[in-house]
Structure 1
């Protein structure tokens, strides 16, 4: 494998750039560039995506990794990370998840997929500044729209946790409004197993999204003192979940019916229901 410093020097000279020009773009000193190129130091791992983006190459190409082998190994790292995460939206073992991803990033510095997983694992608000820094690097350098959009989403959450509403709004404003997903299009247009898989996954995602929006509306009405409207939103959510009681898991999804959700919503409805007498 070609050393990183040698690769940076080769790419820089191919473009006829001075160390000073590259340094100015990356926000470092030209002495830092010189040290990278002669192998005495390495760039900070957070700079790797920006360096790759500047030269128009992937991070894997920057390190001269075999792209197919890298993809497979990164996929295995993500599988281990997903296993440590567990089911649901809340990570059951964040320390182990972060350890797996950090180890992967030592093998594949600046890998966009691993960095995207990492910013979704780092706790907010405890380490919101770190999340924002990684998110900025990803948003500026990634070639993948889905990673850029997810970076803005997580950055917005981090800014919100810090009380930086203007920055939160700015990050949210960079997320495009899309009224369809790849899953919904696959379910509509493909056939057989691909259609079946997409429809099952989209069904579960739509259910999760609907329940989340009903909960947000209930919170809003409750904060405005409109308890009856809040109760109605929760009642709708309760009936939506109950409608899935006889649904079943598939080879692609678990059963969408969750008794724990029913109990939690029932508890919230009781709080919103005025006492009789």
Structure 2
């Protein structure tokens, strides 16, 4: 540790533009002490580590050469690879979701400071809550205690993240996930508390919009075009997600088949129009949303007892996807996703 610490003190001192004398004055010690540290002829007292890190503008872990970020990245990569393996198993979606949550429960207990994993755990538990919801799929009628244990654990760890994490994106994603858990638990008051602290787009004062303008005034239009491209993808993800929700609920719950089809067609049309510029969309999200909306149309047709229309919708989707500017693998993925939905939800529609 000594060698790393001495070199780090010297590096961070220079990064701050401080001389040894100036650093010594800020710490109320002698310049000779700083010189000894940096020349690796001595170590600072343990009581000096926190004020030393504060003056140099780094964490104590960074000062000591403990690369926690790199370690976290390795941990996150390992855990997410394991999750992907669980999700590729041959089990049903509900059982895979349950096993993923129980695995993440263990990993987040072993690594309580890894906020990325806690966020993942909250999101996967939100996904599990859909399968467990007795009004929707009711996949775990005999495992109530097992599911409740996961809920309580994910909510507790999510609350810890919200209270201690400085990354607003992770905090917002965790609020969103916890809201879904409470919704499926029918605890709407707590759900609303998490929803009400999330960013709101209704006032139009969003960061991405003014950030593009800042880039223009600071660096010019050519530089701004990069921001426009990034914001276009962000906008597509947001719009597509909203349209997916609209189509989903009309497909499942609208009693008037014609109105359900009209709304789903409208949602599909907007998504397809947006994707005319391929660099303006997340192609993976595009494929998933296209297949989702097609499936919700199938649901509406089947719920109305119109099997012929359902077959027409399926054939039409396959033809559209085959004619789009997609790779063979992307076309195959779109059809596999739709077929998986049909297989999983056939008992409902």
Which TM class, normalised by the smaller chain length?
0.5 to 0.7
Match of 1:239 in 2: 269
- The CA deviation at 1:177 is 1.8
Match of 2:250 in 1: 218
Segments ≥4 residues shifted beyond 6 Å: 249-252, 272-276
Is structure 2 residue 267 aligned with structure 1 residue 264? no
The correspondence of residues 116-195 of structure 1 with structure 2, limited to 5 A, is 116-122=119-125, 123-124=128-129, 125=132, 126=147, 127-178=150-201, 179=204, 181-187=206-212, 189-190=214-215, 191=223, 194-195=226-227
- The CA deviation at 1:169 is 2.1
Match of 1:77 in 2: 75
- The CA deviation at 1:272 is 7.1
Indicate the RMSD between aligned Cα atoms, in angstroms: 4.2
**Is the 8 Å Cα contact of residues 156 and 167 (structure 1) preserved in structure 2?**
yes
Determine which structure has more spread, i.e. the larger CA radius of gyration: 2
The 1:105/1:202 distance shift into structure 2, 3 A limit, reads: same
- The CA deviation at 1:157 is 1.2
Match of 2:61 in 1: 65
The correspondence of residues 30-109 of structure 1 with structure 2, limited to 5 A, is 64-66=60-62, 69-83=67-81, 95=99, 99=103, 103=107, 106=110, 109=112
Q: Which moved more, 1:97-106 or 1:191-200?
A: 97-106
- The CA deviation at 1:131 is 1.7
- The CA deviation at 1:236 is 0.7
Match of 2:144 in 1: none
Is structure 2 residue 204 aligned with structure 1 residue 208? no
For residues 304 and 189 of structure 2, what CA distance do their matches in structure 1 show?
Answer: 36
Cα distance per residue 1:111-138 (max 9 Å; x no partner) = 3233222222333353222221112222
Is structure 2 residue 143 aligned with structure 1 residue 112? no
**Is the 8 Å Cα contact of residues 232 and 281 (structure 2) preserved in structure 1?**
no
SS of the residue corresponding to residue 109 of structure 1 reads coil
The 1:135/1:192 distance shift into structure 2, 3 A limit, reads: same
The 1:274/1:172 distance shift into structure 2, 3 A limit, reads: same
For residues 162 and 301 of structure 2, what CA distance do their matches in structure 1 show?
Answer: 44
Unpaired segments ≥5 residues, structure 1: 2-59
For residues 285 and 116 of structure 2, what CA distance do their matches in structure 1 show?
Answer: 28
The 1:247/1:233 distance shift into structure 2, 3 A limit, reads: same
Cα distance per residue 1:153-186 (max 9 Å; x no partner) = 2221111222212222222223242445555555
**Is the 8 Å Cα contact of residues 156 and 172 (structure 1) preserved in structure 2?**
yes
- The CA deviation at 1:269 is 4.9
* Corresponding pairs, count: 209
The 1:150/1:245 distance shift into structure 2, 3 A limit, reads: closer
**Is the 8 Å Cα contact of residues 61 and 68 (structure 2) preserved in structure 1?**
yes
Cα distance per residue 1:2-23 (max 9 Å; x no partner) = xxxxxxxxxxxxxxxxxxxxxx
For residues 211 and 293 of structure 2, what CA distance do their matches in structure 1 show?
Answer: 31
- The CA deviation at 1:139 is 2.1
SS of the residue corresponding to residue 230 of structure 1 reads helix
Unpaired segments ≥5 residues, structure 2: 2-57, 89-95, 133-146, 216-222, 309-349
SS of the residue corresponding to residue 66 of structure 1 reads helix
**Is the 8 Å Cα contact of residues 241 and 262 (structure 1) preserved in structure 2?**
no
**Is the 8 Å Cα contact of residues 151 and 181 (structure 2) preserved in structure 1?**
yes
For residues 79 and 182 of structure 1, what CA distance do their matches in structure 2 show?
Answer: 29
Normalized per residue, the structure richer in helix is 2
TM-score (norm 1): 0.56
- The CA deviation at 1:81 is 4.6
